[in-house]
Each structure stands twice: as C-alpha cells, then as structure tokens.
Chains A and B, each alone.
Chain A
C-alpha cells in the first residue's frame, strides 16, 4: 500500500463508474422500448459494486483487510413490473391491444449519471494528485 497503489485503486473505480455510465446510457436509450410480452420487454440494468480485497499480501501475514479498489460483481436487471399501455394500433401489441413499457425510471437514471460523473471526476483528481506527488518525489534533491 504505497502511493503507487493509488493508480490501481482509482483506476478500478474509473472502470466501475464507466460500466455504470454504460448501463445508464443503455437504460436511457431503451426508456421508450415496448413489447407485447412482459417477459421480453427491456428491463433497467444496474451494476453491483463490490469492494476489492487485497489478497496478495507480500509477507503472507494479515493484510488487515486492506482494500484495493472496487469491482463490478455483475449487472442485475430491475424486477419492477413493466407498466402496460393500451395501444391497439401498435404492431407489437398483444391480442388484447396492450403493449408493455420498459421499467426504466428516467429520473433515477439521470441521478445515477450525475453521481457516476462526480465519482469519476473525484477519482481522476486523486490519480492526478498521486502523479504530481510521485513526480515531485522522483525529482527529490534537484
């Protein structure tokens, strides 16, 4: 756990936040998707973040639960029921004339996007700080 590990830690966070932004973009793009079958309609996807534990302890001893960043465990689909709408003229409508909307909550997605954006910026700042400090340390005595 030295200053160099900041690059790995913040880098893992940048990756996680990028995946989060990707799912948000996918959700917003499909916010208006419809289907006649509630099982086939697009469902909002969200990443699950998990703390990455440092298991590669060099001296084989207790690493004191030192953490080494964050990773995305997987993407889960929202189980919120898909709202249905009466659109008998829609070619995708079922025999009763209903279409099922995707269960994407646009407001939730927008706040998620802002949060991901801010976390991304913060981690970039942490990386830049670590880089500046390391460069100053390298030029020690000059």
Chain B
C-alpha cells in the first residue's frame, strides 16, 4: 500500500536535484574557454526513471546489491545549443542558465510540497480524528 505513496515526485525530486548540479556546473564554467553547456531532457529522463521503477532488479539474496537509481545513464546529459556562439568556444549563456536554475529550483520545491502534503495527509488519517 505504501510502495508508491509519493508517486512521481519521489523520482522527480532526485532528478531535479541532479539537474540543479548540472546547471551549477554550467554556471561555474561560464568563463572557461571551450566549455560546452550541458543539460538533461527532463521529461525524457523522468519517463525513463518512472518506467524503470516497474522493472526494478529484484534483490533475492543478501549478497545482491540493489541497482541504484538516480544516476544518469550515459547519453542522457546533452549539450545545449547556444543562441549566439562565442569566440572562445564556450556555450554557456548566463541568462539561459540562470533561468533554467530558477525554474528547476521552483519545480524541486513543488515536488517537495507535494510530498510534504502527502505526509501530512497520512498523519491526519493515522491520527484518526
């Protein structure tokens, strides 16, 4: 019953956190010559993460190690197409990255709010009042 109480927000929270670190990398390398800005296609990765949940590797032996979700598979990190290429080969565009960072920040908090609401709903039900 409690297997999937948080729905998609559980994986969404992890993915938003990872996307924030990818975007922080872009911001950190805004002045590095030749650096190519990277990002993930969020919808695609989340679809992959939620479909994999149904096909999780089963752990039947104490020696088995549970397959760790939450890491990007190779190829999921994509390169951003710059609006205007710069001469030193850097494709970080500050406003684009800042906007994406702010957006992901809000989406992370949205997922967190959904989870918190779910928890308080359950606590309300459990208290039996």
Which residues A91-142 have CB closer than 8 A to chain B? 115-116, 118-119, 122-123, 126, 129-130, 133, 136-137, 140-141
B76 to A, closest residue via Cβ: A64
Residue A76 lies at the interface, judged by CB distance under 8 Å to chain B: no
Query: Size band of the B side of the interface?
Result: 35 or more
Residue B48 lies at the interface, judged by CB distance under 8 Å to chain A: no
Q: Is the interface of B mostly helix, strand, loop or mixed?
A: helix
Residue A3 lies at the interface, judged by CB distance under 8 Å to chain B: yes
A70 in complex: contacting residue of B14, B32, B75, CB < 8 Å: B32
The count of residues in chain A whose C-beta lies closer than 8 Å to any C-beta of chain B is 38
Q: Is the interface of A mostly helix, strand, loop or mixed?
A: helix
Q: Which of A7-15, A23-31, A32-40, A80-88 sits within the interface? A: A7-15
Which residues B16-53 have CB closer than 8 A to chain A? 17-18, 20-25, 27-35, 38
On whether A140 and B116 interact (CB within 8 A), knowing A10-B24, A115-B31, the answer reads yes
Contact yes or no, A51 B32, CB < 8 A? yes
Scoring B residues 45 to 69 as 1 if CB is less than 8 Å from chain A, else 0, what string do you get?
0000000000000000000000010
Contact yes or no, B27 A10, CB < 8 A? yes
Contact yes or no, A5 B28, CB < 8 A? no
On whether A126 and B17 interact (CB within 8 A), knowing A64-B76, A119-B30, the answer reads no
On whether A6 and B20 interact (CB within 8 A), knowing A64-B74, A66-B77, A140-B115, the answer reads yes
Residue A60 lies at the interface, judged by CB distance under 8 Å to chain B: no
Task: Give the Cβ gap from A118 to chain B, nearest Cβ, in Å.
Answer: 8
Could you tell me the distance between the alpha carbons of A49 and B89 in the complex, rounded to whole angstroms? 13
Task: Give the Cβ gap from A56 to chain B, nearest Cβ, in Å.
Answer: 13
Residue A68 lies at the interface, judged by CB distance under 8 Å to chain B: yes
B32 to A, closest residue via Cβ: A49
Contact yes or no, B27 A2, CB < 8 A? no
